Amino acid sequence: MSSLDLEARTSPNILEMGYDKRMMVVSGRASRDLGAKIAAKLGVGLTDAGLKTFTDGEVYCRYAESIRGADVFIINSIVGNEPEGVNVNDALMELLVMIDAAVGASAHRVIAVTPWYGYSRQDKKSAPREPITARLVAKMLETAGIDRLVAMDLHAGQMQGFFSKTLDHMTAMPILSQYVKDQLGPTEDLVIISPDAGRVKLTSKFAQKVGAPYAVLEKERPAQQVAEIGYVIGEVAGKRAVIVDDIIDTGGTLAAAAQTVLDEGAKEVYAVATHGIFSGRAYETLAASPLSGILVTDTVPLRAGAPDMIRQLTCADILADTVRSIFTDTSVSEIFAGENQLF
């Protein structure tokens, strides 16, 4: 008889004792508002991570209560947040130290929720001697000790292969497509525009959800954050066009795309994207563009001074459902009926 069998017979409560799982939701400073919304929808309070930045710029974390044995969900997009005084690199380091602190405090599982995965556009070598920084970030997160990662509308599907841990890929396309269908219809007046050939599959699914045809923009990119729009493949004349992408950053490419679509005869042009980064002079560029409206989600907090043309929807419902499914060990893909793989 093994020592385990003997111990079980003399102390039967060892095998009979129940175990109550415990969920804890933590938010970094880059996603404070989104984290609060997710926690509220889950019916739990946000756990205080004791985050602060020392005068020399170092990030500090200390959980205010015990997290031993809990499933800890750490919500933090890898992006800057001006009101909180953090930039994209602060957010990344903050995420890493929160993960390490949770592992060191004996959490049962540590799940990083990064709605916007920073550095995701550096997902391949486009020129000699460049890093693949998206892969580097994946290595850093796994080294810190995550058990799982949740991301939303990754820039490229190949990034899933950078992880040996489970990556749950969520998408905001259902809420975005429903809004377009409800607010910009009737659908026979709409055409959905792919900003380039790489987004055709996503655009096709979006158009199918809306019930409208789609067209494709041909473009070239001579340098980072610079794009030249060529022409439109498809019929847009007399239509209300909706350009669908995963990211809006400086806005220059989008403004040029909108003008190209109008030149091809469209009545109006709108833009839809999951991640509204709006860096640099994006607000000024987009406000001066021919776009009639822009729709994004709150994966990235809006900077102050956003023009009225920008509307933000929350993805808290989707992420709360995802967290709940992971915690209860039920199917995550069923949230989207298996349609969350868009690549």
> Is the pLDDT assigned to residue 95 strictly greater than 80?
yes
Beta bridge partners of 219: 229
- Can you tell me the distance from the alpha carbon of 203 to that of 125, in angstroms, rounded to the nearest whole number? 25
pLDDT recorded at residue 162 = 96
pLDDT recorded at residue 12 = 41
Q: How far is CA 219 from CA 196, 205, 230, 236, 284, in A?
A: 6, 21, 5, 17, 23
pLDDT band at 13; cut points 50, 70, 90: very low
Q: How far is CA 51 from CA 60, 95, 134, in A?
A: 6, 10, 25
Tens of pLDDT, residue by residue over 119-145, are 999 999 989 999 999 999 999 999 999
- Is residue 220 within 8 A of residue 229, CB to CB? The reply is no
> Is the pLDDT assigned to residue 304 strictly greater than 60?
yes
pLDDT band at 11; cut points 50, 70, 90: very low
pLDDT recorded at residue 186 = 82
- Can you tell me the distance from the alpha carbon of 98 to that of 46, in angstroms, rounded to the nearest whole number? 14
Is the domain spanning 17-171+317-335 CATH 3.40.50.2020? The answer is yes
pLDDT band at 8; cut points 50, 70, 90: very low
- Whether 17-171+317-335 and 173-314 share one fold: the answer is yes
Q: Which of the two residues, 9 and 111, has the higher pLDDT score?
A: 111
Average pLDDT, integer, range 18-25: 80
pLDDT recorded at residue 6 = 40
Q: Name the residue ranges covered by the structural domains of the chain.
A: 17-171+317-335, 173-314
Average pLDDT, integer, range 21-36: 96
- Can you tell me the distance from the alpha carbon of 57 to that of 76, in angstroms, rounded to the nearest whole number? 19
Q: How far is CA 181 from CA 11, 106, 116, 295, 297, in A?
A: 62, 47, 25, 13, 16
pLDDT recorded at residue 199 = 85
Tens of pLDDT, residue by residue over 243-296, are 999 999 999 989 999 999 999 999 999 999 999 999 999 999 999 999 999 999
> Is the pLDDT assigned to residue 223 strictly greater than 80?
no
Q: For residue 280, which of 228, 227, 225 has the smallest C-alpha distance? A: 225
Q: What is the CA radius of gyration of the chain?
A: 22
Q: What is the pTM of this model?
A: 0.89
Average pLDDT, integer, range 100-116: 98
Average pLDDT, integer, range 301-307: 95
Beta bridge partners of 100: none
Q: Which of the two residues, 5 and 238, has the higher pLDDT score?
A: 238
- 3-class DSSP state of 223: strand
At what angle are helices 32-42 and 316-327 packed, to 10 degrees? Answer: 60
Residue % of the chain over a pLDDT of 90: 80
pLDDT band at 230; cut points 50, 70, 90: confident
Mean of the per-residue pLDDT values for the chain? 90
Beta bridge partners of 74: 26, 112
Q: Provide the CATH topology of domain 173-314.
A: Rossmann fold (3.40.50)
Cis geometry, peptide bond prior to residue 186 (ω within 30 degrees of 0): yes
Q: Which residues are catalytic?
A: 219
Which residue reads 């919304």 in tokens? 37
